[in-house]
Structure 1
Amino acid sequence: MMTDPFFYATAIPAVILVGLSKGGFGGAMALLGVPLMALTISPVQAAAILLPILIVMDMVSLWTWRSHKDTRTLVIMLPGALVGIGIGWITAAWVTVAMIKLIVGAVALWFVWRYVAQNLAAARNGAEHAARGHRPVQGVLWGTLSGFTSFVSHAGGPPYQMYTLPLRQDPKTYTGTSVRFFTIINAVKLAPYFALGQFDSTNLSTSLALAPLAPVATLGGAYIVKRMKPDIFYPFMYAMVLLAALKLIWDGMVYLMA
Structure 2
Amino acid sequence: MELTAATVLVASVGVFLISFMRGAFGGGFAIIGIPLLSIVMDPVTAGGLLAPLFIAMDLFALRYWKPSTWSKQDLVLLLPGLVIGIALGYLLFRVLDHRAIAILMAAITLLFVGLWFVGGATVSIRPRSSAKAVAAGLASGITTMVAHSGGPPLAMYLLPLGLGKEVYAGTTSLFFTVGNATKAMPWLLLVKPEGNVWILMAACLPAIPAGVWLGWRMHGRLDQHQLYRACYGLLVVTALKLLWDGVSGYLA
| Mapped partners of 2:83, 2:162: distance in 1 | 24
2:180 to 186, 189, 204: 186
Secondary structure of the residue aligned to 2:158 is helix
Structure 1 stretch displaced more, 27-36 or 239-248: 27-36
Distance change in 2, residues 1:80/1:3 (3 Å): same
Shift of 1:111: 0.4
Shift of 1:27: 5.9
1:223 aligns with 2:217: yes
1:139 aligns with 2:133: yes
- Aligned residues of 1:81 and 1:185 also touching (Cα < 8 A): yes
Shift of 1:180: 0.3
- Aligned residues of 2:93 and 2:146 also touching (Cα < 8 A): yes
Q: Which amino acid aligns with 1:113?
A: G
| Mapped partners of 1:29, 1:139: distance in 2 | 19
- Aligned residues of 1:21 and 1:221 also touching (Cα < 8 A): yes
Matched with 1:245 is 239
Q: What is the alpha-carbon root mean square deviation over aligned residues?
A: 1.8
1:166 aligns with 2:160: yes
Q: Which amino acid aligns with 2:69?
A: H
- Please give the residue correspondences for 1:87-98 in structure 2 after superposition, counting only pairs within 5 Å: 87-98=88-99
Unaligned runs of 5+ in 1: 121-127
Which whole-Å deviations, capped at 9, do the CAs of 1:114-165 have from their partners, x for residues lacking one?
A: 1111226xxxxxxx75311211101111111101111112211111101111
| Mapped partners of 1:217, 1:246: distance in 2 | 24
Which whole-Å deviations, capped at 9, do the CAs of 1:203-236 have from their partners, x for residues lacking one?
A: 2221111011111101111111122111211111
Q: TM-score, normalised by structure 1?
A: 0.91
Distance change in 2, residues 1:2/1:179 (3 Å): farther
Shift of 1:171: 0.4
Q: Percent identity?
A: 31
Structure 1 stretch displaced more, 179-188 or 235-244: 235-244
Matched with 1:79 is 80
Unaligned runs of 5+ in 2: none
Matched with 1:56 is 56
| Mapped partners of 2:26, 2:107: distance in 1 | 18
| Mapped partners of 2:16, 2:144: distance in 1 | 19
Which whole-Å deviations, capped at 9, do the CAs of 1:67-88 have from their partners, x for residues lacking one?
A: 3110011111111111110111
Matched with 1:99 is 100
| Mapped partners of 1:221, 1:64: distance in 2 | 11
Matched with 1:118 is 119
| Mapped partners of 2:197, 2:114: distance in 1 | 39
- Aligned residues of 1:26 and 1:237 also touching (Cα < 8 A): no
Structure 1 stretch displaced more, 103-112 or 240-249: 240-249
| Mapped partners of 2:70, 2:147: distance in 1 | 26
| Mapped partners of 1:211, 1:97: distance in 2 | 29
Distance change in 2, residues 1:163/1:64 (3 Å): same
Shift of 1:256: 1.5
| Mapped partners of 1:70, 1:113: distance in 2 | 26
Shift of 1:201: 2.9
Q: TM-score, normalised by structure 2?
A: 0.93
Shift of 1:26: 7.6
Aligned length, in residue pairs: 251
| Mapped partners of 1:113, 1:90: distance in 2 | 33
Secondary structure of the residue aligned to 2:119 is helix
Structure 1 stretch displaced more, 18-27 or 94-103: 18-27
